[in-house]
Amino acid sequence: MQRIVNPATGKLITELPGADADAVDDAVWKSRVAYQGWSKVSPGDRARMLRRFAAVVEEHKEELAGLETLNAGHPVSSARWEAGNVADVLAYYAGAPERHVGQQIPVAGGVNITFHESLGVVGIIVPWNFPMAIMMWGAAPALAAGNTVIVKPAEQTPLTALRLAGLALEAGIPEDVLQVVPGEGEVAGARLAGHPDVRKIVFTGSVEVGREVARAAAGSVKRVTLELGGNSANIVFGDADIRKAAASAPYAVFDNAGQDCCARSRILVQRDVYDEFRELFTEALRTVKVGDPALDTTEMGPLISAEHRERVRGYLKREPDVVGECPEGEGFWMPASAYFDVAEDDPLWTDEVFGPVVAIAPFYDELEAISLANATPYGLSGSIWTGDTGRALRMARAVEGGNLSVNSNSSVRYWTPFGGVKQSGLGRELGPDALDAFTDVKNVFIAND
């Protein structure tokens, strides 16, 4: 049985049976049967069902937000945004079935046309940090393209995935088109990744597990999309709006208690404004409201588990230079912490800590900023703060990351591509081209005679 715990209190919410390999096999068989019907649903009807699914999610947004707050410890204001994102993503991809068209390519001797063919069964292995949003980033375009979907949620956070599967049925999505199989990653996740009848795997999680998923998928040469984390840089130049950059920087790190692949967990500040930034950032960090995630005023909640909290604490070899407040007692609490003048070879700089910890260091010029920013095996996201448009473009091209923002800390927009470089993963999610990742292109030549 899987014990589902409230991270804000450490108390048991419920227990669920975990799927074994046989249960995954059964889900795949049902998904293959459902695919025979779903793939033949007309684009217009598929679009209508997805729009209805989006509307039903919108109607249950407060319920979903409450589940995410209870199960994942997200501040309820953030959880409401996440539930809204699920509805928005579904609505966005509801417009895709009727617009994902092939081509007519001029050739000699006949006519050449292409078709986008759905793959079949798609497996989505979801992490615990943003369970319902990341689930739908994969499921919505996969369903829109005519595939059936099996979701394996994280052991810690299956509740919103299970509820979304129920809402899909309420919305008229046919049975077994969207299934959820809770279970351990080493059992249910491994079987889903290696199953010969699963045509694609979408995985979000650690590099180590991502490698195992890729190895399992390679056995049947199935496609994979991998989003494997980050250690993003927040680069602040002296010509930027320093007050704005410093005021926003804590929220670029401590959202979801730092358990965010896009967290700007390394801040690089040009030397001539370093002291000013330090003072302003310290002031901003100490105003972050940490506490009961069910309260609208809370800005940072607990970590997901006691085990994860100990992992994050393992990086703290000395006392932080700045530390915020947090509750004491039950729950997996940890204060927001900042370290200044962090060395380039310090694990706080090179590793993905995945907690409410930020490393800050000075730099002199663009070349040094680029070197420091790229001194990590990751390349997912990042920010560049400057008043110089030319510099912004130079830095954006030089910094190794899949999603960069200028004078902003925003990473994810469902209508633009999302993904990383280096060990941050393979492929892209979201945006107008996401359906291409869930289809094969079939080329057909028709001779003139």
Residues 218 and 289 in one domain: no
Retrieve residue 442's tokens. Answer: 């079939």
Residue 418 is assigned to a structural domain of this protein = no
Look up tokens 């940090």; give the residue: 129
CATH number of the domain bearing residue 249: 3.40.309.10
Residues 20 and 143 in one domain: yes
Residue 428 is assigned to a structural domain of this protein = no
Residues designated catalytic: 227
- Give the other-Cβ count within 10 Å of 132's Cβ: 28
Domain that holds residue 347: 233-406
Pick the last residue of a domain from 228, 261, 282.
Answer: 228
| pTM for this model (two decimals) | 0.96
Over the chain, what is the mean pLDDT? Answer: 97
Residues 358 and 220 in one domain: no
The answer on pLDDT for 312 being more than 90 is yes
Residues 130 and 241 in one domain: no
Residue 74 is assigned to a structural domain of this protein = yes
CATH number of the domain bearing residue 147: 3.40.605.10
Dist. CA 435–CA 225, nearest whole Å: 12
Residues 241 and 215 in one domain: no
Per-residue confidence band for 23, with pLDDT thresholds at 50, 70 and 90 = very high
DSSP 416-429: S-B--SGGGEES-B
Residue 45 is assigned to a structural domain of this protein = yes
Element (H, E) at 381: strand 381-385
Residues 96 and 176 in one domain: yes
Residues 192 and 133 in one domain: yes
**Distance from chain centroid for Cα 159:** 17
Longest dimension (CA), the chain: 81
Residues 202 and 237 in one domain: no
Residues 52 and 133 in one domain: yes
Which residues in 37-103 belong to E strands, given as ranges?
none
Residues 115 and 248 in one domain: no
| Number of separate domains in the chain | 2
Pick the last residue of a domain from 211, 228, 245.
Answer: 228
The predicted-structure confidence for 399-433, as pLDDT tens digits, reads as follows 999 999 999 999 899 999 999 999 999 999 999 99
Dist. CA 86–CA 171, nearest whole Å: 14
Which residues in 17-144 belong to E strands, given as ranges?
104-107, 110-118, 121-125
Residue 277 is assigned to a structural domain of this protein = yes
Q: Given this model, what pLDDT does residue 186 score?
A: 95
Q: Given this model, what pLDDT does residue 1 score?
A: 84
Q: For 173, which DSSP code? A: P
Look up tokens 């007050």; give the residue: 243
Q: Given this model, what pLDDT does residue 21 score?
A: 97
Q: For 345, which DSSP code? A: T
The predicted-structure confidence for 318-340, as pLDDT tens digits, reads as follows 999 999 999 988 999 999 999 99
Residue 22 CB-density burial (10 A; 0-12 exposed, 13-18 middle, 19+ buried): exposed
Dist. CA 31–CA 261, nearest whole Å: 30
Q: Given this model, what pLDDT does residue 328 score?
A: 87
Q: For 18, which DSSP code? A: P
Residues 147 and 273 in one domain: no
Torsion region of 395: left, alpha or beta (phi above 0 gives left; psi -120 to 50 gives alpha) = alpha
410 contacts: CB under 8 Å, gap ≥ 6: none
Dist. CA 127–CA 204, nearest whole Å: 6
Residues 326 and 281 in one domain: yes
Instruction: Taking each helix axis as running N to C, give the angle between helix 159-170 and helix 43-59, from 0 to 180 degrees, rounded to the nearest 10.
Output: 130
Residue 448 is assigned to a structural domain of this protein = no
Torsion region of 221: left, alpha or beta (phi above 0 gives left; psi -120 to 50 gives alpha) = left
Q: Given this model, what pLDDT does residue 449 score?
A: 81
Q: Given this model, what pLDDT does residue 305 score?
A: 97
Q: What is the percent of the chain where pLDDT is above 70?
A: 100
Dist. CA 287–CA 77, nearest whole Å: 17
Residue 434 is assigned to a structural domain of this protein = no
- Give the other-Cβ count within 10 Å of 273's Cβ: 19
The predicted-structure confidence for 196-229, as pLDDT tens digits, reads as follows 999 999 999 999 999 999 999 999 999 999 999 8
Pick the last residue of a domain from 228, 263, 284.
Answer: 228
Strand 223-227 and strand 266-270: the pairing is unpaired
Residue 446 is assigned to a structural domain of this protein = no
